Amino acid sequence: MNNRRATHIVFFAVVAMGILTALGAIVMPMSSLERLAQFATAVGPIVIVGSAYFVIRQVQEAQATLRGQLFDATAGRMLDLSRLFVEHPDLRPYFYDGRDVPDETDSLRQRVLAAAELHVDYLDTELLRRKLFAPSLKELPGFEPWIRGLLRTSPAMCRILHNDKQLGEEAWYGEIHTLYSEVVGQGQAAWPAASRQSAAAP
């Protein structure tokens, strides 16, 4: 908002100076050639600043449009995650209550891991989006607190990230690993349980 106000002030200041210069050309006694040169001197800066002003406005409008599109995409995917728990409430404890992934004989296991992968995909994409489009998304709250909270209560997500990290250079995820390593380093990761026990040990 401050940048927009400063742009308006500069634009109107240049226009005012141009008008005063043009009036001077009319009032002051001078030859036709001198008067023409004076008008050119007055109009030139107005044209340049006016063109710059409209370019800046177009850039601002483009940023506003991009911000709206990014926000809609984020909100849409968050709604999908919320809908997942509404349609499958049995999955929620594996993300918010610390319940570990079912064993291999349980048919629920693959659904839990698939939902965990969906969460990690979304959150990693959002972190990357915030990094690439920082100027457009700087006014929106960050996802870091939510991600840290999930990594403390969702063994399934921790398992996904642990296995991905073991791939080294072939790892699929990028941005979210920084937060994952932070939570693991603090001994607060939901899985393995040993990471939390080690933090409590004297």
Q: What is the mean pLDDT of the chain?
A: 78
- pLDDT of 191 above 70: yes
Q: Is pLDDT above 60 for 8?
A: no
CB 151 within 8 A of CB 186: no
Question: Residues 70-95: what's their mean pLDDT?
Answer: 85
75 vs 86, higher pLDDT: 86
In the predicted structure, residue 194 carries a pLDDT above the cut 90? no
Where does 28-175 have alpha helices with state H?
32-87, 93-96, 108-132, 134-137, 144-153, 155-165
User: Which pLDDT belongs to residue 134?
Assistant: 80
196 has a pLDDT exceeding 70: no
Give me the pLDDT at residue 77, please.
79
> Residues 93, 99: contact at Cβ < 8 Å?
yes
- pLDDT tens for 127-183 read 998 888 887 777 777 889 999 999 999 999 999 999 999 999 899 999 999 999 999
**CA dist., res. 154 & res. 148, Å (int):** 10
Task: Considering only residues 136 and 26, tell me which one the structure prediction assigns the higher pLDDT.
Answer: 136
pTM: 0.66
Q: Coil, strand or helix: which one is 139?
A: coil
Predicted pLDDT at 80: 85
pLDDT at 202: 32
Q: pLDDT digits over 97-140, tens only?
A: 999 999 988 889 999 999 999 999 999 999 998 888 887 777 77
DSSP-assigned letter for residue 169: G
